[in-house]
Amino acid sequence: MSDEEVLIQSPLLYRLVRDRSGALIIEVVVGGIAMSAVRVRLDARETAAYAREGQAFADRLAQAIMADPPFGGRAVDVP
């Protein structure tokens, strides 16, 4: 059973979850003809932006990760 609470499950192929520690993590499907998923832990600024804007911010963050899957070295491959 997952220890994560799913906050958003988007048809844009991402989901936002809150882990047991309360941290927000976004999981995004990246790639074209071969798709996989990466996870990025939201930093304090992003967490605050999500608190303010909700899904609109999560959509933008997911699109930014799709457009640059390494995401500055912050993205971790989902096995």
Partner 1 sequence: MKKAVGVALLCALVASGCVSTGATRPPSPPPLVERCDATQARLSVEADQRASPWGIEQHVARNFPGRQVSWLMKDSAYQTFVVQTNAKNFGRCNDTGCYLFAAPSTVIQRAVQESMKDGKHDPAALGKALGLPARNFEGTLRMMTLDLNATGVCVRLPVESDPGVWKCTSPEDTDCFKFGGYTSGGVPEVMVINAPVAQARIEEIP
C-alpha–C-alpha distance, residues 6 and 19, integer Å: 9
Minimum Å distance from CB 26 to partner 1?
13
Q: Which of 46, 53, 51 is nearest to 71 (CA)?
A: 46
Minimum Å distance from CB 19 to partner 1?
15
Within 13 Å and on the Cβ side, how many CA atoms surround 38? 21
Decide whether 47 or 69 has the Cβ nearer to partner 1.
Answer: 69
One-letter amino acid at 32 equals: G
**Span interacting with partner 1, options 18-26, 34-42, 45-53, rule CB under 8 A:** 34-42
| Residue 1 sits in the site that holds partner 1 (CB under 8 A) | no
Q: Which of 55, 47, 46 is nearest to 11 (CA)?
A: 55
| Residue 67 sits in the site that holds partner 1 (CB under 8 A) | yes
Binding site for partner 1 (CB under 8 A): 9, 11-13, 15, 27, 29-37, 63, 66-69, 77-79
